[in-house]
Amino acid sequence: MAGILHVVPTPVGNLEDMTFRAIKVLKESDLILAEDTRTTGKLTSHYEISTPKQAFHMHNEHKVVDRFVEQLSSGAHIALVSDAGTPGISDPGFLLIRAAAAAGIEIITLPGATAFVPALVSSGLPCDTFYFEGFLPPKKGRQTKFEKIAASDRTVVLYESPHKIIKTLGQIVAYCGSERPVTISREISKKFEETLRGTAAEVLAIVEERGGLKGELVLCIGA
């Protein structure tokens, strides 16, 4: 009898955001596949989870995915986690999930943390329909993405790194207009969580005055 692949969200900030069910699944699984075993080790240590861990990340997933599908087919119960949030959402996981589905393995994805949902809800921008872009391409295709964002009639959600945020805000002003509504949520669920709101030009001025921003960043761009 084949096993089960559990896709388990983990906290994006506060460890107390872990669900009771997620802890139970991690404890009862035969193996935890982790984006970084050291990061996941802090979580498992906090909740006294002793399940063995192996690395599964963007640099090795193509090489090891077949091995884990074979283990699942042989009856193993495997939990897949990323460093923070839900695997597959701008994180490793898609390849294994696709391969497991193709092999007829049961896949159970637990509801739980992901950074863009609280950022979108807190933005105050319409969220009945939205477009999630994730990380923008660093160079090739970036202009095309901004042109698509500029033409969008719905809220657009982006992930961005601190060292690119000023450049990205400048490009939002250039392609979408200085009056386009923008929010930036940073350090979601952590001690210094905050959301900046205003026009693209206003938010850019705030970030420039601060000399940039630190932490994990989620941008919401209004229509």
Nearest-angstrom CA–CA distance, 187 and 26: 25
Nearest-angstrom CA–CA distance, 203 and 22: 37
Q: What is the pLDDT of residue 37?
A: 95
Question: For the chain, what are the domain ranges?
Answer: 4-109, 116-221
Same fold flag, 4-109 and 116-221: no
Q: What is the pLDDT of residue 55?
A: 94
Whole-angstrom distance between the N-terminal and C-terminal Cα of the chain? 50
Joined together, the tokens standing for residue 32 give 């935890």
Joined together, the tokens standing for residue 76 give 């193993």
Q: What is the pLDDT of residue 139?
A: 84
- Which residues of the chain are modeled with pLDDT < 50? none
Q: What is the pLDDT of residue 63?
A: 86
Whether 85 contacts 91, CB under 8 Å: yes
Question: Hey, what CATH class is 116-221 in?
Answer: alpha beta
CA dihedral sign of residues 26, 32, 35, 40: positive
For the beta carbon of residue 220, count every other beta carbon within 10 angstroms: 26
CATH code for the structural domain at 4-109: 3.40.1010.10
pLDDT tens, 190-200?
988 999 999 99
Q: What is the pLDDT of residue 59?
A: 83
Q: What is the pLDDT of residue 129?
A: 94
